[in-house]
Structure formats: structure tokens, C-alpha cells
Amino acid sequence: ATQATVELTASMAGAGADVALVVTPCYYRGSMSSAALVRHYTEVADASPIPVVLYSVPANTGLDLPLEAVLTLARHPNIIGIKDSGGDITRMGLMVHKTQREDFQVLAGSAGFLLASYALGASGGVCALANVLGAPLCQLDRLCREERWQDARSLQHRLIEPNTAVTRQFGVPGLKKAMEWFGYYGGPCRAPLAPLSPPQVEELRGTFTGNGWL
């Protein structure tokens, strides 16, 4: 609900957040037209004491924030970017191209296509895999900014399978398990998410080992 999002955004600002990452409302997906989404985000951004970043994650919501809505919202002074996790590189390239005159950043929502996003002009990424392999992702960022594309490509290739494993394949339980292997605290999952089974743990470990991370 828009009002609930406004209230939660204000509470996060009060807790010290610098930016609010606002996912697309999706429960009544059939009613989430471009106009409805523009109205929702506009009301949230108008009321928010901190800048807003749009968040499109169709794998989890079943709803892709329409390109025309993104371009309209990019003109709002308190909407400063989008985290796009859809993986449609053509769409991301168009966003970068069409928002060049706005104070608006296009951010890759996954480590699996971070290099491709940089090549098309994205500003950066917000990646689940960074909870596990933060330093390599920062290295990929540096390589891209320095235009060392061959080194960046080699590194990107080694990140694709681990990224898939801790997102689409095993999700949060996989991410938490991998964090433990790298010295972080993943902790238990909240129901209804269940911890990985022993065979799943071995498959996940094999993915990281096979790409040289363990």
C-alpha cells in the first residue's frame, strides 16, 4: 500500500538510512498499470525525507516496472535511480540512454550481468553476491572503470555460477550458507524458507569450489 510505504520510508529515514530502495507493489499485479506505479512512486517520493531508488525484481514480484514508467519517474527530483534485477540488458541500455539528462543512476541488480551493465553505461550495482564475495565485486567495478575489459570478462565469468546459486537456484538459504564459509554470519532462515539439505549444501560448495572461490 502506498501509505504503508510512505510510513516505512519515513521510519527508515529516522533510523539513519541515506536512501530508500522501494520495491514495486505487486500483490494485485493485474492492477499495477504503468499509471498506477507512477502514482505510487510519485507519492512515496514526494513524502520521503530521503532520496528514493526504484527497485524492479520481476523474478520475485512477477512484475517488471515498465520502461515508460521508469522514464517518467526519472524526472522526479527525489527519485535518483533504479536497481534493475530483470537482466534485460537492452532495457538497461535504453534506460541509461534515455535518462542521460536526468540526475538518475541505473544500477545492475545482479552480479551475473554486472560487466554487461557497465559496458552500457550503468553507474554500479546492488548485488546479493556482494554479501559473500564483496572484494571480487569491487575488483570487477575497478576493472570496468579502468576499461580493462579482458580482465573484467575473466572475473565476470567466475562470478556467474556462484551468483546464480545464491539467487535464483538456492536463494536466501544458499546466500546465508555461503556467507558462513567466507567468515560472515549468515544465521538461520525465517520460515517459510527452509535451510539447505545436505545434497544442496554440497552442490553449492561445488559451485564455489569449481570457480576458484573455495
Does residue 163 sit within a domain? Answer: no
Position 22 scores a pLDDT of 98
Cell numbers standing for residue 77: 527530483
* Residue-number span of the structural domain to which 80 is assigned: 2-126
Query: Measured between alpha carbons, how far is residue 188 from residues 137, 146, 202, 203, 205 in Å?
Result: 25, 39, 18, 19, 18
Does residue 68 sit within a domain? Answer: yes
**CA–CA separation, 115 and 122 (whole Å):** 9
Instruction: Report the 3 state secondary structure along 162-173.
Output: HHHHHHHHCHHH
Does residue 113 sit within a domain? Answer: yes
Please, what is the angle between helix 149-164 and helix 198-210, to 10°? 180
Does residue 180 sit within a domain? Answer: no
pLDDT in tens, 100-145: 999 999 999 999 999 999 999 999 999 999 999 999 999 999 999 9
The total number of structural domains that make up the chain: 1
Parts of the chain with a pLDDT under 70: none
Position 75 scores a pLDDT of 97
Does residue 108 sit within a domain? Answer: yes
Q: What is the CATH number of the domain that holds 62?
A: 3.20.20.70
Does residue 61 sit within a domain? Answer: yes
Does residue 31 sit within a domain? Answer: yes
Which DSSP helix (H) or strand (E) runs through 143?
helix 134-145
Does residue 84 sit within a domain? Answer: yes
Question: What positions carry a catalytic annotation?
Answer: 83
